[in-house]
Amino acid sequence: MPLWTSLTPLTAAALLAGAVFTTLNGVLVAVCAVALIAAVVAAVHHAEVVAHRVGEPFGTLVLAVAITVIEVALIVSVMLAGGPDKAALPRDTIFSAVMIITTGVVGICMLVGGLHHHEQSFHLEGANAALAALVALAGLSLVMPAFTTSSGGGTYTVPQLAFVAISSLALWAAFVFVQTVRHRDYFLPPVNAANEDIHAAPPSAAQASASFALLLVSLVAVVGLAKQLSPTIEAAVTAAGAPKAVIGIAIAMLVLLPETWAAVRAAQADRLQTSMNLALGSALASIGLTIPAVVVASVWLDLPLVLGLEPKDIVMLALAFLVSAITLSTGRTTVMQGAVHLVLFAAFLFLALVP
């Protein structure tokens, strides 16, 4: 194991601990930003080591679930600290994550893969199952609250929240069962796809365990540093006169950096199936794990929770899902599909700045 992959997570964690107990100034903000990027690179390295040990699709599942669990903890902690002012934070975070993944991450992977390999393939059955579950979860969690009549203002009643939380967790668990047990072959790289890992000796159990521990440290550092930098981001957004939704987008981008980097690297290495597993699996985990957690926190601690999206955001979400259903319908991708997704991603960012 290269020395930097061990030192980087520990250094980032130490900087996080120091940032918690000190006031951030310009120099410390810059150092924390550099440490965050370095921790992302280290996290991807350790995730790849673990993935090579346990094989697909378990490797991508490890990274997706690990960072989502830490992200959930971050959201709940901010909700507790912010009170009513943070009622829409889970909605904004989940919506931003879904849009970033389905348009930005998938688009970059398709574009990079197409530029390097002209055309790439993946299992259509696995992508369709993930996309169907994602549409159902997003529809129940983010769209329906804007139209239900029992509770206004984009909110759910307590029984409705309980139903959505149980449904989200059950659907995510069903997808994981299908991905890892019942139809695991739908999520494995196609036989004709390039995979240099096949020819490399897998790491030992000790190496994989050490990488898993350092992966967790890296992810904690990434999410923690993102939280520490969020006030600086919020101040910059406010000074620029941009809408508050931009803050959620910026934080979501920081948190999703490890998964994005890993997915793009996989596409560049002609392993688009791994990219799809990472991207769509992360989006599913973002809803399937976050919604139950914030519902429990909201009901237990009597915190307000706004889940319903604004009309503009509903249209963007529907457009992203419609285009994804079309571009992923053949199991093969080129730069054209990547360009379409990235245009939608640019539209999402632009309309967040200019609503």
User: Smallest Cα–Cα separation from 261: which of 61, 63, 31?
Assistant: 63
- The answer to whether the CB of 215 falls within 8 A of the CB of 8 is no
Residues 6+ apart with CB under 8 A from 322: none
Q: Cα–Cα distance between 276 and 286 in angstroms, integer?
A: 15
Residue 244 is classified by DSSP as T
Least-confidence region, from 11-15, 68-72, 86-90, 142-146: 68-72
Element containing residue 80 per DSSP (H, E): helix 58-82
Q: Is the pLDDT of residue 160 over 50?
A: yes
Across 109-129, average pLDDT: 90
Residue with tokens 């120091």: 18
Across 131-150, average pLDDT: 94
pLDDT at site 83: 67
User: Smallest Cα–Cα separation from 101: which of 352, 355, 341, 347?
Assistant: 341
**Chain mean position to CA 337:** 21
In the numeric block, which tokens belong to residue 243? 């809408």
Residues 6+ apart with CB under 8 A from 57: 179, 180, 184, 187, 188, 277, 281
Question: What are the extents of the domains in the chain?
Answer: 3-353
Residue with tokens 């069962």: 177
Assigned CATH topology for domain 3-353: A middle domain of Talin 1 (1.20.1420)
Q: Cα–Cα distance between 320 and 309 in angstroms, integer?
A: 15
Q: b/e per residue, 287-326, with b = 16+ CB within 10 A?
A: bbbbbbbbbebbeeeebebbbbbeeebbebbeebbebbee
pLDDT at site 196: 47
Residue 328 is classified by DSSP as T
Across 163-167, average pLDDT: 95
Q: Cα–Cα distance between 9 and 207 in angstroms, integer?
A: 16
The model's confidence at residue 245, banded by pLDDT at 50, 70 and 90, is confident
- The answer to whether the CB of 251 falls within 8 A of the CB of 95 is no
Summarize pLDDT for 198-235 with one digit per residue, the tens. 445 677 888 888 888 888 888 888 778 877 877 777 77
pTM: 0.82
